Structures are given as structure tokens and as C-alpha cells.
Chain A
Amino acid sequence: MAKDTNMSDFRWIGTRPDRPDGLDKVTGRARYGADIQAANMLHAAVVRSPHAHARIVKIDTSKAEALDGVKAIVTRADFPTGLTGEDWDLQENTMAGERALYDGHAVAAVAATSAHIARDAAKLIEVEYEILPHVIHVDDAMAEGAPVIREGAAGPAVPPGLHPNVVGYTEFGHGDVAAEMAKADLVMERSYKTEATHQGYIEPHACMGQLGSDGKGEMWVCTQGHWYIRKMCAAVLGLETAQLRVTASEIGGGFGGKTTIFMEPLSLALSRKAGGRPVKLVMSRSEVLRATGPTASASMDVKMGMTKDGKITAATANFRMQGGAFPGSPYDMALYCAFAPYQIPALHHVGYDVLANRPKCAAYRAPGSPMGAFAVESLIDEMCAELGLDPMEVRIKNGSKSGDKASYGPTFGVIGLEETLVATKAHSNMSVPLGPNQGRGIAAGYWFNHGGETSVSVALSEDGTVQVSVGTPDVGGSRASMALMAAETLGIPYENVRVNIAETGALGVNEPTHGSRATFASGKAMHGALTQAINEMCKRAAAKWKIDPEAVEWKDGAAVPAGPNAGQFPPMTIEQIAKKMGSTGGPISGHHESVPGGVGASFGAHVVDVEVDPETGHTKILRYLVVQDAGRAIHPSYVEGQYQGGAVQGIGWALNEEYIYDDMGRLQNPIFLDYRVPVASDLPMIDTVIVEVPNPGHPFGVRGVGETGITPPLPAIANAVAAATGARIRHLPITPTKLLAAIKAK
């Protein structure tokens, strides 16, 4: 739909009605992963490796089997063999084979008649280990002599001569870097590091699986994407995919971490072994932190050239990331995003994906982008300080515009970075005077957004109300945005739309709620499905009026003659059409299946004011501003919520959060007391500005808003701390100890 069409006045889009699932969620009625019971249900527990790297010599389950109430025990011997590629990785991560590859790696699982008995039985399973040398940090893991985690895992792009732990490699760029660097007045090279952080969703992973000897199964699971769960469980267990029916529970946060499987196949394997009884498996918090996917840690070198008047002439980036004991760190996406906000004549990127003895990383909100932004946006700030330039003006000067070629190759469509930076510059937070020990930091950030496989159905009910079935679980209010867009498209009240998250048996394949795609992709597909239903309703009216269907159009919730030549008929409302549909041709519905194109990227800019206590090194966030291009805010409150939540996760990453390992490679902080996410008293209000540069690729201009917001906080806070103290921290998190040492070392 053309841009001018999606600029028109709306009745529903942009309003802030109560979310459709609000009542369930404030009364405790909403059912999450662990809130299910089934007749004859068993409870499961998992035995996990206490070692970072160890050969599994022997597993003795005899004592556990002898315990009353134990109904099934599974080890890797209960899984099919011969898997390859990502399927093998998923299976190996679900249950260790010959070796445990990280602290927390599952080695056996047990199902029993109560959770207590299952946990008791898990303790009775005796595992004999031969401890192997391990490696935790990315630069160590690439170094000569580092323990080899898996031979032959390197992808085809990896050049010869690198350590076997290097499993992925990329190199790309454009322009003559040496020549452009030579035009710069200042060339600076710095190294930056970020630590692994966890998505930290408050709901631990939970599922209930049931699988019969006939290979037919059911699963209830908290997930961002139940078709992924179905596909991955089927692959790991050797099932026929369509025989497994997966229902997504309400989900207590995901942020990318619930787009894959961790323990779900174990419940199915246990169920199959226990004669098909349903098996419920709920992780503890320490299992979540030890054995689900945190993000990667990164070690990055960036070099940049800048002229005296703030033009960036050239840059190089060398990013190394470990994503645990399996390939898959977002080293490539980090590089794609790192320079995306800027137009730089010459660029060269090199990236390495490296194995380490840590849990298999999963996506975490704009995977890779925060790390890349930390390095690049910190360096820009350092160079601005050196050259005496205004960091905001430098960003505006070099900023990417619509139609520009992106740093990683493609050409941007309509983008709103310039509008975002201008709105940021004009915001009142920029002119609040700062006191002693206070500093202001700014940074920009980028995320691509995503289309992905999408299947949506809509159906008219007998009374003219409409049900919408989507496959993207509602993690943050997407039912509201879907209902608003449906009401807008049909011209009916918001309350007349019911949005259901359908199970895998009810729709074609859907990718998860990831990549900021739910409102974009399911919204666009829903628009297609509604258009189909509207066409059918117009056809029914045309038949009644005995005119050509082409002479009927849809307006304000009713079929009307398209013009004076079509004839004089009163509007036929959706209620009237619905009431008669059984006798005018049968049920009216609409379907749309596609991989929606027209994805619109989202840029953001953040401004943070901090105050650093010079005696303790503690950083307090005084005020925080998020400005981001939403394309179109369907329900502005939930757009603001995404901005605020993303910013606060970034604040946690910048100041508190990190995976801490001891010399044995054991995670030292696997509870929320020690893995400290931001709490209410750490924070001020998070100010937001929603910039709307509509995406022409979406019927209402939506871009997707979920991810960009976690990207700028890392550098913005480091920049603010540097402004407040003169101390530049290039290794997150900025803990009081680290900052105090840096202030003293000045």
C-alpha cells in the first residue's frame, strides 16, 4: 500500500484501548507454561553436569530406577543417532552424548509421580566423569593450545590455519580503507569487550509433553514460537513433524531466549518411555541461567578515521564472539549492525564465531547489535572528545538516509534515522544542566526487523464479530495491536475482534515472535486475510443486489455500492452479511500465507544522564530518553513499553549483568540475587519519543519496535560515565569496582 494511503486518518490505529488479555493477566487466570495439570501426569527432573568439560564415562541409573514412583529415565541412548548440522547441535545440547560441554549440560532425565520423587531420583543417578580441560573466554578459546571443544565443526568459510574452536568466519566491506583512512585527521583504534548476559525472562522454561508409542504427541509449552518447538523436537526425537501438536501457553517473557528448544524433547522422550503419560518439566532459575541460551560474549577491535569537522572516512572492525559449545554466536549480525547508522566511504569487517565451554547461546533482543554498537558508538564518542566535536552533530552529519546503501550491502528503503536524531537533539532532556560528577551520553542503534514465514486466518462469526488466528505468541501486547489493525481494516469496533494464538494444528508454519516481527508480519498477513474476507462479503452483497461484485466496496463495516452507477442500495453491514452467510454460500473466512516482504528497519537514539559516586564508583541513572522510529505505533502504550523495557535491559547489561565463571568453568552467579537485573529503585522514569516515519512495506506503516531499544544503552552509558568521570570503560559491565579503579588510575 502506498505511503500516502497509510498516512490517512485512523479510527483505531494509534489509540490506547485496554489489551484484550488484560483481565486474565491481572487476575492470575492467564495460564503460563507451568500452570497446567493433566490426568495421570508425571513430573520430571534433569541431571546436569557440574563440570565445564568432561567425558561421560558411565551413567548408573539403577538406584534411581529402584525408587518408588520413578516411571522413566532417559539418557542420550534413548535418542536417535545420525543427526547432522543444527539438528545434531540441538540434540547434543538437549542431552549430552560422549561429553558434557558446559556446566549445566543435561546428562540424564527422570520422570516420577511427584516433583519431589523426580528430584530425589535425579540425585540417585550416578554419573562418572573424566574431567577435561576447558576454556571460557573467547580470545582464550581461539589461542594456540586451547582445549578443542569439537573437531571438524568449522564452517566452510573458515580459513585454514585457525584453531578448531573457530567455527564461523566472515569478511566483507567496501571502498579503499587505506586511502580513506589517510584522509582522516584522527585515526583511533580501541578494543572493547562485552560479557554474556541472560535474557532474564521471569518465567522459567516449562512444558508438558505427551508422546505415545504410535509417534503421536502433544505439547504445551511456554515459547515464542511453537512451530519451531515442533520442528526441533521432531528432529531431535526422529518424529514425523505433523504428528506432534504444540500449543503455546501464555509466555512470561522471552526476548529471543524462547525461540528454540532446551529441555522440551526430554518431556516427550520420558513420556514415550513411561507409556505415553504426560510429563511436566519446569526449570529452576539456576537451570535457566546455567543451561538455556544466554547471549554471546564479545571481544572487539575497531579502528576509525575522522576529519576535523567530524566526517567519518573509514573504519575497520574485528569482532570475536563465543556463543557456547555450539556454532551460532551473532558475530555476523553484530558486524552488519555496527556501522549501519552511518555512511562511511570505506569499511572492512572481519568476524569469528568461536566455541567455548558455555551454554549454547540463543537470540537476545537484536542479537549482536548491542555489542557492535558498544564498540562503534564508544569509539565515535572517544574521537569526538579528542577532536572537540559535538557527538550529536557528528551522528547527524554521518547518518544514513533513505535510499542510502547500508554498511553491510543492501540499500535502505524509507528509514527514519535523521528524523530520530533531530527529535533527540530537540528534546528537553538535552538541555538539562548537569552538576558535579554528572555526565551525558548519547548513542544510536539499529535493528533490521524481520518478515519470516507467516500464516494467519480470520473467520466471521454468525453475529458479525471476527476471530483472528495468528501463530505469533503474544509476549508484550500483540493481541491488542492485531485487534486494532483488524478493527481498522474492517471498520468495526475493537471489542468485536477476538485474537487467538492458534496451536500448530490450526495454521500453516509460523516463525516465532522474534525479529520484531509479530505486528509487522502477522499484521501484514492478517491484512491479506481480512482483504480476502472483505472481498467475499462484498460478493455476498453483490449477489443479493444482483450487481457485479466489482461494483461493491467495503466502507465503515459494511458493503456499499461502489458509486452512483452501481445502483442505489443501503449499506449491508457485517452483522447482516454474517447472519445470512449460512444460506448465501457458507462460512466466510480469509487466509494468508507468505513470507512478508517490505520489512522496514528501525533506528533509535538514546540519551542518558548519569551521576557517578566518586567514593564508591556507583553509577546512578538520573534521566533516560529513548527516541525511536516505529514506522507507525499501532498501540502507542505498548510501543513505549518496548522502548522502556529494551532500554532497561541495556542498562542492566551496561552496569550489572554478566556471567561469572570460576577457574573450574562453573557459573558462579546462577540465581537472581547474584545475576542482578535492574530493579525499580535503580531507575528513573524512562522518557520516550515515538518517531513515525511510516514503512511503505506495511499496510499501516509498521516497522517493528521490539529490539532496537536494547542497542544504544551500552555505549550511551559508557559515554555518559566517561563524560562524568573522564574514565573510559571499554569492558562491560561498568561495575563500581571497575569504575573506581579506572577513576583512580587516571
Chain B
Amino acid sequence: MSKVHVSTTVNGEPVEFLADTRDTLLDSLRDSLGLTGTKEGCGTGDCGACSVTVDGTLVCSCLMLGVEAQGKKIETIEGMANGAELHPLQRKFIEHAALQCGFCTPGILVASKALLEKNNNPTEEQVRYWLAGNLCRCTGYDKIIRAVMDAAAEMRGAA
């Protein structure tokens, strides 16, 4: 089966790749572009490990086809830090020990960033419901919620 040529923007960089029409966006990111920070935990949109943003909207990249990336702006975990400077969420996740195995972490960070861009002062309940689509099996979520709230507070203070 011939592949489709896709031109898109990932983390601000224009990129091109060839996609099998059955490749998910997650497959394209990981296997064609070598961006393996985005993880596959379920392949059915239930775990959120593959969270990325497409034109600013938070999506499960396992539920979108690679060919659908044509002309879009995609942000992944690899684009979250500004060079060597971590995003406050990334720093707060380390500081609060909000990760154990770290496998769900990229997706949760991407999802949390999308939350804080919509709402810079979320309540605990709002964080919990926003992240209800991101499974973490290690932490019981406690330290994740604290890290997100703390990052939000710091970002509000800095703004």
C-alpha cells in the first residue's frame, strides 16, 4: 500500500513524513518522527498516555490518524520545555515526586498544560476532572494534583 506524504508542524518545527493510512498520529510521532516521549498505554483513548495538542486542542493521538496531521500544529512533550528551561509543570512534577514509573507523565503534563492555558486558577476538583482521562497506576494521583495546583499558583504569581 502506498504511503501518504504529510506536511505538518511539530513543536514549532515544520516536518514531513510518510504515513501508512492506518498509522495513528501516535504511530507517526513515535515511529516516523522518532518522538517517543508520547506513549501508548491502551490504543483506545482510555488512558491519556498519548496526549498531545493539535491546533491547541488536547487529543489522544492514538485516536487520530497520522494523515490527519496535514497542515496542523502539533505540540508534544518534547516541545514543553523551552530549551534547557523546564516548564513550571515539569519542575513541579519533579519537586513534588508526582511521578513514580514516569510512563503516564508525558501525557499528564501535556494535559495539565492544556488545562492551565484555559484556567490558570483551577480548584482541586477541576484538576481532578480535567485529568480523569489520564490514568496513573502508581501514584494514586495525590502528588500529581498537588504539583499541578502548585505550578498553577507559581505561574499566576509570575504572570
Contacts and interface: CB of A to CB of B under 8 A. Distances in A.
Contact of A477 (B43, B78, B95, B100): B100
A321 B146 CA distance: 39
A638 B97 contact: yes
Contacts of B4: none
B144 A673 contact: no
A203 B78 contact: no
Interface string B16-59: 00001010000100110011111111111011010000000000
Interface string A658-701: 00000000000001110001111111011000000000000000
A683 B128 contact: yes
Contacts of B140: 641, 644-648, 678, 683, 686
Given A26-B105, A32-B39, A18 B95 contact: yes
A683 B141 contact: yes
Contact of A285 (B38, B42, B103, B125): B42
B42 A26 contact: no
A202 B77 contact: no
Contact of A116 (B20, B93, B125, B131): B20
A15 interface: no
Contact of A27 (B43, B81, B133, B134): B81
Could you say which of A25, A648, A680 has the most chain B C-beta atoms within 10 Å of its C-beta?
A680
Interface in B107-159: 109, 124-125, 127-129, 131-146
State the main secondary structure of chain B at its contact with A.
loop
B61 interface: no
Contact of B43 (A37, A285, A685, A686): A285
Interface residues of A, number: 62
State the main secondary structure of chain A at its contact with B.
loop
Contact of B139 (A21, A201, A252, A641): A641
Nearest to B144: A680
A525 interface: no
B96 A202 contact: no
Nearest to B107: A202
B137 A644 contact: no
A200 B104 CA distance: 12
A713 B104 CA distance: 24
Interface in A17-58: 18-19, 21-32, 34-35, 37
Contacts of B35: 28
A476 B104 CA distance: 13
Nearest to A637: B97
A473 to B, nearest CB: 10
A30 B96 contact: no
Nearest to A250: B102
Interface string A317-338: 0000000000000000000000
A680 B134 contact: yes
Interface residues of B, number: 61
Interface string A247-259: 0001111110000
Contacts of B139: 641, 644-645, 648
B44 A202 contact: no
Contacts of B66: none
A738 interface: no
B40 A685 contact: no
A204 interface: yes
Contacts of B103: 32, 201-203, 250-253
A27 B102 contact: no
B76 A644 contact: no
Nearest to B131: A680
B15 interface: no
A5 interface: no
Interface string B72-90: 0000111011000010001
Contacts of B102: 21, 24-26, 30, 250, 252
Contacts of A199: 137
A637 B96 contact: yes
Contacts of A35: 30, 36
Contacts of A250: 101-103
B44 A285 contact: yes
Given A253-B138, A638-B100, A671-B42, A22 B22 contact: no
12 contacts: A18-B94, A25-B99, A27-B37, A28-B38, A200-B137, A202-B41, A252-B102, A285-B41, A476-B101, A644-B140, A680-B144, A681-B131
Interface of A: 16, 18-19, 21-32, 34-35, 37, 114-116, 199-204, 250-255, 282, 284-285, 475-477, 635, 637-638, 640-641, 644-649, 671-673, 677-683, 685-686
Interface of B: 20, 22, 27, 30-31, 34-44, 46-47, 49, 76-78, 80-81, 86, 90, 93-97, 99-106, 109, 124-125, 127-129, 131-146
